[in-house]
Amino acid sequence: MEPMLGLVKTVSDSIQIANGVLATLTTNEDKTRAALDPFMLATDVADYLVRKGVSFRETHHISGRCVAKSEETGIPVNELSYEQMKAIDPRFEKDISEAFNYDASVERRSAKGGTSNSSVMEQIKVLREMLG
């Protein structure tokens, strides 16, 4: 029984701490955007190739080669030239540059629990209903 009561106390304390953090939280969009790293979009490169008909298992390796080329050259992955990308895999087309858009990346994740604006709003709605 004692371990159970300890667990309840820990969860209760954690909820109080989370409540305090969220109640006083302020965000700074400029600092948040400045902290974005093009490597965060490596999955978007893989997803781009999936939309071109390449299997995800293969696109994962291709995306990894793009990251490796970026690290090797010191050029951010989103600034690799079309020619450099095409040399990594011939299935890249000029529209690959569209994969390097943070806002579009967030919006492409529209599945339940995803990061798109509509998905987040749906999650907020569900939580509000749960809280009454």
Please state which CATH number belongs to domain 38-100: 1.10.40.30
- pTM comes to 0.74
Single-letter code of the amino acid located at 15: I
Q: For 64-128, what is the HEC assignment?
A: HHHHHHHHHHCCCHHHCCHHHHHHHCCCCCHHHHHHCCHHHHHHHCCCCCCCCHHHHHHHHHHHH
Which tens digits make up the pLDDT trace of 38-95?
999 999 999 999 999 999 999 999 999 999 999 999 999 999 999 999 999 999 999 9
DSSP for residue 41: G
Query: Residue 113 in contact with residue 123, Cβ under 8 Å?
Result: yes
According to the model, what pLDDT value does residue 14 have? 92
Calculate mean pLDDT across residues 104-108. 95
Residues of the chain with CATH 1.10.40.30: 38-100
Percentage of the chain exceeding pLDDT 90:
80
Confidence of residue 2 (pLDDT cuts 50, 70, 90): confident
